[in-house]
Amino acid sequence: MITDRAPIAVAMDAPDLGALSSWAQAVAPVVTTLKVGLEVFCRDGALAVTTARAAAGSVGAGAIAIFLDLKLHDIPATVAGAARAVAHLEPEILTVHAAGGAAMVEAAALALPNTKIAAVTVLTSLDEQALAAIGMLGPSIAAAVRLALLATNAGARAVVCSPHEVAAIRAVVAPEITLITPGVRPAGSSVDDQKRVATPQQAIADGADLLVIGRPITGASDIAQAARDIALSITDVN
């Protein structure tokens, strides 16, 4: 049995609020976090967050963390304003792009002091060829480390990076920095549009604090069981 909920943020990329509610009810008993992403937030707005929280509460899961994954990237004043605009939703985590620069990251952190600002380093959909095409100095591990240091020095309290970079970033950032890894796939799962992936067990072993997992759970025929199976694979089992 699971003694504690697993450090997994399930991506609530649901087609509508009804599905989002159903998914949240299914996974909330075994995971710590529900991730509301850009597509769902643009469609449903604040209702996506309130629906996720209410669904988790309806199954007696207790407090559930909301990870608002908007990947803000604009001039500092605009990002600060956008961060303040979602303050009433009280997200535990809000993402910004580290590539927006230190002043932008700092503006977000100052605007939402009670929220953990998570800086996205290099998207997991990008490989070395794609990085070169957009003019980013690579390799990806060097770019991710460079951006992680820039962002955490500017006030970010979390970093989003692929499992391939998590060990290198863990080695250079402060121990209290939360490392969040998308691109996590159970062994044998399709990698879909991700390029730099690892299994849940490997990501945790390399220093990840929170795993972002979507389709391997929400695309399963039994969402609750899929979440439980992955949670059990990374937590103590009696």
The residue annotated as part of the active site, out of 35, 71, 116, 195, is 71
Q: Which two tokens stand for residue 225?
A: 């069981």
Triad 71, 75, 77: Cα angle to 5°: 100
CA-based end-to-end distance of the chain? 6
Measured distance CA(41)–CA(13) in Å, rounded: 9
| Alpha carbon 196 to chain centroid, angstroms | 15
3-class secondary structure per residue, 179-237: EEECCECCCCCCCCCCCCCECHHHHHHCCCCEEEECHHHHCCCCHHHHHHHHHHHHCCE
Active site residue 71: yes
Catalytic residues: 71
